[in-house]
Amino acid sequence: MTPPLEKERIKQMKVTSSSFKENTRDALSNPTLQNSLKRLHTGFVSSRSRAAARMPEFELLRDQARDIKDHVLAHLDVYLEKFELQCQAHGGHVHWCRDENHAKDVVLDICQKANAKTVTKGKSMIGEEIAINDHLEANGIEPIETDLGEYIIQLRNEPPSHIIAPATHVSKEQVADVFRLTHSDLDPARNLDEPDNILAEARAMLRNRYMEADVGITGANFLVAETGSSIIVTNEGNGDLTQTLPRVHIVLASIEKIVPTLLDATALLRVLARSATGQEMSSYTTFSTGPKRDTDVDGPSEYHVILLDNGRSDLLDSEFKEMLRCIRCGACLNHCPVYGAIGGHAYGWVYPGPMGSVLSPGLIGLQNTKHLPQASTLCGKCEEVCPVRIPLPLLLRNWRFLIYDRGLTDRKLAFGLSIWAYLAKRPMLYHLVVRWLIRVLALGARKKGRYKYLPGLKAWTQTRDFPAPQGKTFMQQWR
């Protein structure tokens, strides 16, 4: 599949979080994106609340999910070794990878040993994190995304904008456009107006790809220590075709995906789909263990699990440890007013929304990502819906402290804060200044009672008037 659009894919996964402000401005003025964000918000938010209301034990299930993940993190070394042992006992291979480059090379090596020409892929956030597609492509192996959303953004040369709905920013007209461009041997006059037609075309195009692929790469929602299994949760069935038809199955997972037992996995599965899409259970939940057995009729002959660290072990004894509980359901994105206004691309790396603003600085450093922890109103909705009860607002605040400590705060903001801090520590002076300021502002506004322009407050006044203060200060009235 030659990339149809002119941009180079290699550039895709570069971190653009440092230009967060510019990204945000673009996002806010993009009508297609704004439409799709509205749809996303009403869709996922209402279905999650329906699913939660329908399950009387839901809050208990969330407590339990949190406790299971905490137990795993407190015994992570033992569980990882147990997983490795069990996986090997079933004929699987486990590859420990310290960072993205290491993981990319290991995956490439497996593909090259399998003489792979094409590789089908199920949706994997670890795949995005290590930018595996670029690496395979650069080495002459063609990666084909099979999740419909991932397929669409692969054709459009874009990164995903949501961790469970990667193409949520794309309209159906845009899908039709990129299909016409890419599937150029089909009748150009064919009807692609309805989602039905688009679906049928995607199904037909990807069929052959499944059959001819030499290697199938999937992610893992969980790894089960007790049995050495990997679990994928999907709705389309693409992950299952990807991991059953090719000769080699590679699982991309990170070290914190471990759960102790099948029962623990079951307990977590009860909160995953409900939190993500509001489904009672996703269409397909699949437990895979090792390669096919000698007597099996189908399935892969090789089974490899990549255990990626990439900065996670550093987080274990940090104040961001709770982030390692995350099961990537996307509920915090769906409920976040900031994500809902700007979408996923503005965040500039693979993990957007509240979970991304906490995780990304931990994985790729604060220097590039210092805007992200600031991009929150700390309204607390994310924590309210998190199935494993990660205190996201607290963790965002922890990053803000570090940003300030390290002198990474924006100069203007730091200056403003220092003036405010100076006054706040001197109450008498504070009251005096406020009283004076209010009088001046009230006088300046004359009879209109509002400002169309105020120096230093352009961000406010360019979209709405600034109301002038009226009467006395709160403290004056309170006395």
Footprint on residues 44-73 left by another protein (CB under 8 A) = 55-57, 60-61, 64, 71
Among 1, 366, 378, 454, which residue sits at the site for another protein (rule: CB under 8 A)? 366
Q: Give the torsion sign (CA, 290, 292, 296, 299).
A: positive
Scan residues 168-197 and list those touching another protein (CB under 8 A). 168, 171-172, 175, 195-196
Shortest distance (Å) from residue 423 CB to another protein: 31
Q: Does 18 bind another protein (CB under 8 A)?
A: no
Distance CA 12, CA 8 (A): 7
Nearer to another protein, 399 or 468 (CB): 399
CB atoms within 10 A of CB 286: 17
Shortest distance (Å) from residue 42 CB to another protein: 9
Scan residues 287-306 and list those touching another protein (CB under 8 A). 287-293, 295-299
Distance CA 243, CA 82 (A): 23
Nearer to another protein, 240 or 383 (CB): 240
Nearer to another protein, 27 or 307 (CB): 307
Part in contact with another protein (CB under 8 A); list of ranges 125-133, 214-222, 307-315, 418-426: 307-315
Contact call for residues 443 and 437 (beta carbons, < 8 A): no
* Backbone φ/ψ region at 311: left (φ over 0), alpha (ψ -120 to 50), beta: left
Q: Does 445 bind another protein (CB under 8 A)?
A: no
Q: Does 204 bind another protein (CB under 8 A)?
A: no
Contact call for residues 239 and 127 (beta carbons, < 8 A): no
Among 18, 282, 374, 473, which residue sits at the site for another protein (rule: CB under 8 A)? 282
Three-state SS string over 442-477 comes to: HHHCCCCCEECCCCCCHHHHCCCCEECCCCCCHHHH
Q: Does 1 bind another protein (CB under 8 A)?
A: no
Distance CA 219, CA 350 (A): 15
Query: What six digits make up the tokens of 408?
Result: 């990474």
Scan residues 388-427 and list those touching another protein (CB under 8 A). 402, 406
Q: Does 309 bind another protein (CB under 8 A)?
A: yes
Q: Does 437 bind another protein (CB under 8 A)?
A: no
Shortest distance (Å) from residue 295 CB to another protein: 4
Query: What six digits make up the tokens of 243?
Result: 């991991």
Closest CA to 252 of 79, 130, 364: 130
Q: Does 199 bind another protein (CB under 8 A)?
A: yes
Shortest distance (Å) from residue 139 CB to another protein: 10
Distance CA 82, CA 79 (A): 5
Query: What six digits make up the tokens of 172?
Result: 């159906």
Cβ burial of 34 (10 Å; 0-12, 13-18, 19+) is: middle
Q: Does 12 bind another protein (CB under 8 A)?
A: no
Nearer to another protein, 187 or 317 (CB): 317
Q: Does 281 bind another protein (CB under 8 A)?
A: yes
Q: Does 258 bind another protein (CB under 8 A)?
A: no
Q: Does 229 bind another protein (CB under 8 A)?
A: yes
Q: Which residues make beta-bridge pairs with 93?
A: 304
Q: Does 261 bind another protein (CB under 8 A)?
A: yes
Distance CA 419, CA 400 (A): 18
Q: Does 102 bind another protein (CB under 8 A)?
A: yes
Straight-line distance from the first to the last Cα atom of the chain, in angstroms, rounded to the nearest whole number: 74
- For another protein, what does the binding mask look like between residues 123 and 162, x meaning CB under 8 A? -----------------------xxxx--x----------
Q: Does 6 bind another protein (CB under 8 A)?
A: no
Say which DSSP state 14 is in: S
